[in-house]
């Protein structure tokens, strides 16, 4: 389960609206609650570095991730997931999303942005521990 506040939920959806018709992307920081849920306590907007095809691809500069991780450590936060948008496509993971997902045990949140307006938002946990057997499994989003 992914647990996050209304303001964070609204912010990641708003980001997808702002970057439409291009994909937005960002990082979810927080901790894992005792019940195993990933609790988001802050989000970090990132720049989509895929300037060649930003309408259907995203990539976060790992250098930006190093900075976000460092700032998170200073607040006792860990990376618990990521988000991105699918402009005019469903809020479902694609083969590309699965192939490029490597953060096991983290949440991958996808917001469908239809004609510039955020529609469905879904979250998937990357399960497994090996590249050959990984899966993106739907998980509940609890907005608190």
Partner 1 sequence: MAKIHIPTPLRQYVSKQPSVEVKGSTVGEALHGLVSQHPDLRRHLYTEEGKLRAFVNIYLNDEDVRYLNKEATAVEDGDNISIVPSIAGGTSLASAGG
The residues binding partner 1 (CB under 8 A) are 23, 25, 27, 50, 53, 55-60, 62-63, 65-67, 69, 73, 78-80, 82, 84, 86-87, 89, 93-97, 99-106, 108, 126, 129
Angle at 90 (CA atoms; ends 88, 93), nearest 5 degrees: 125
Q: Which CB, 20 or 93, lies closer to partner 1?
A: 93
Q: Give 13 or 87: the residue with its C-beta nearer to partner 1.
A: 87
Judged on CB neighbours under 10 Å (0-12, 13-18, 19+), 69 is: middle
Nearer to partner 1, 6 or 34 (CB): 34
| CB-CB contact of 84 with 24 (8 Å) | yes
Distance CA 134, CA 27 (A): 20
Least gap, CB of 78 to partner 1 (angstroms): 5
Nearest distance in Å: CB 141, partner 1: 18
Strand order through the sheet with 135-139? 135-139, 117-127, 107-114, 78-87, 25-32, 38-46, 2-4, 141-143
Rounded to a whole number of angstroms, the minimum distance from the CB of residue 10 to partner 1 is 22
6 versus 134: smaller Cβ distance to partner 1: 134
Yes or no: say if 93 and 109 are a contact pair by the CB < 8 Å rule: no
* Residue 52 Cβ vs partner 1, minimum distance, rounded to whole Å: 11
């Amino acid at each position: 389960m992914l647990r996050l506040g209304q303001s964070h939920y609204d912010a990641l959806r708003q980001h997808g609206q702002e970057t439409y018709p291009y994909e937005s992307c960002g990082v979810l920081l927080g901790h894992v609650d005792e019940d195993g849920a990933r609790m988001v306590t802050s989000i970090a907007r990132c720049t989509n570095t895929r300037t060649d095809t930003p309408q259907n691809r995203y990539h976060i500069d790992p250098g930006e991730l190093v900075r976000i991780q460092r700032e998170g450590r200073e607040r006792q936060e860990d990376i618990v997931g990521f988000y991105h948008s699918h402009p005019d496509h469903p809020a479902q993971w694609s083969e590309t999303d699965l192939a490029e997902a490597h953060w096991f045990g983290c949440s991958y949140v996808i917001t469908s942005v239809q004609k510039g307006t955020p529609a469905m938002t879904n979250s998937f946990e990357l399960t497994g521990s090996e590249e050959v057997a990984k899966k993106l499994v739907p998980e509940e989003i609890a907005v608190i």
